[in-house]
Amino acid sequence: MTRLIPVDLISRLNTLGDFLRSNIVGQEEVLEEIVPMLQGSFCEIRFPKRPITSMLFLGPTGVGKTETALLFTEHLFASSEKLVRLDMSEFMTPDSIGVLRGQNTSERGLFGHYYDRSRGSGTFLFDEIEKAHPLINDVFLQILSAARFTLATGETLDLSNYVVVATSNVGSRVLMESRSTDRETIVRRMIQAGTTDFRVETMGRFELQAIFNKLDYQSLQKIGALHTAKCLDLINAQGHSITIEPGVVEYVQREGYSERFGARPMQNAAMRVLKNIVTVEMLRNGGMPVLGRIEYDRRSNKCLIVNQ
């Protein structure tokens, strides 16, 4: 018998859960829904003539919605060119449809361009979906139900080899203000809010509605440590040789904590703290690689580098 799925895809599907969990913190429940959905669809257990799968990511700002789409696309398609990202807040007027499909019969529009660039497969990520004009929303519903998009040239694109993800902050005020920590209650309230803010048919068209958590204190602490390590790797990949002591991570965690804005300030704090120190050293030493250990100095409440 012949194998139905290539071996390397099977291996990428098997490692998907671990890969996402090691990069996305505090979203265990939602990853438990997303991973099997992707695994099944990539094993071709799915409806024909529809996108590979379609998922709506709801949740507050900076909690990992876009990052999750980015990561699973890189992991499953083994290429960063495969993510096509469209910010729907740029498509708020009826004439913006022309931008997407082309203005006249000789133009293939933004959609044609992205389709070619991703070579007929990948992930379409529609950010802030609730901001799109109703006309665009109709096109969108057509993509979800038939995996087709017709350009101004008359050519119809086949989108059945794409995952479609839409993200929205709709309903997240409910989540941010809610005192309840019971996930079932939160999910019910978010879906309710989504159903009133979207057109009814939009919500139901997605195969999965994934509600991302608000990031709590502990998750943000872990994210601080994770992103400090990631930023250090980025810096060392430039040719530096730097280590950090635990006090530096704690400093980043204090600097970057924000319940309201989620992980973004934490990620920014990690880079800012390391960047400032390494830059000063590099400019001082005439652009040579920086070697040393970054420590936290309690008295000055600053981080500094100790050359070894």
Positions touching ligand ATP (CB under 6 A) are 24-27, 61-67, 167, 169, 223, 226, 262-264, 267
- Compute the distance between CA of residue 39 and CA of residue 12 in angstroms, rounded to an integer: 9
Which residue lies nearer to ligand ATP by CB, 66 or 258? 66
Contact of residue 64 among Mg ion, ligand ATP, none (CB under 5-8 Å per partner type): ligand ATP
Contact of residue 157 among Mg ion, ligand ATP, none (CB under 5-8 Å per partner type): none
Taking CB under 5 A as the rule, does residue 66 contact Mg ion?
A: yes
- Burial classification of residue 258, based on how many CB atoms lie within 10 Å of its CB (0-12 exposed, 13-18 middle, 19 or more buried): middle
Contact of residue 24 among ligand ATP, Mg ion, none (CB under 5-8 Å per partner type): ligand ATP
Rounded least distance, CB 283 to ligand ATP, Å = 27
Could you tell me which stretch among 21-29, 63-71, 219-227, 261-269 binds Mg ion (CB under 5 A)?
A: 63-71
Rounded least distance, CB 117 to Mg ion, Å = 21
Taking CB under 5 A as the rule, does residue 96 contact Mg ion?
A: no
Which residue lies nearer to ligand ATP by CB, 62 or 102? 62
Q: Which residue is nearest to ligand ATP (CB)?
A: 64
Contact of residue 38 among Mg ion, ligand ATP, none (CB under 5-8 Å per partner type): none
Rounded least distance, CB 66 to Mg ion, Å = 3
Which residue lies nearer to Mg ion by CB, 129 or 274? 129
Could you tell me which stretch among 27-35, 58-66, 211-219, 283-291 binds Mg ion (CB under 5 A)?
A: 58-66
Which residue lies nearer to Mg ion by CB, 58 or 273? 58
Taking CB under 5 A as the rule, does residue 121 contact Mg ion?
A: no
Rounded least distance, CB 265 to ligand ATP, Å = 9
User: Which residues are registered as beta bridge partners of 211?
Assistant: 58
- Compute the distance between CA of residue 14 and CA of residue 18 in angstroms, rounded to an integer: 8
Rounded least distance, CB 284 to ligand ATP, Å = 30
Contact of residue 139 among ligand ATP, Mg ion, none (CB under 5-8 Å per partner type): none
User: Which residues are registered as beta bridge partners of 294?
Assistant: 244, 305
Which residue lies nearer to Mg ion by CB, 42 or 206? 206
How many residues sit close enough to Mg ion to count as binding (CB under 5 A)?
A: 2
Q: How far is CA 82 from each of CA 43, 117, 124, 159, rounded to the nearest angstrom?
A: 19, 8, 8, 13
Contact of residue 54 among Mg ion, ligand ATP, none (CB under 5-8 Å per partner type): none
Chain positions contacting Mg ion, by CB under 5 A: 65-66
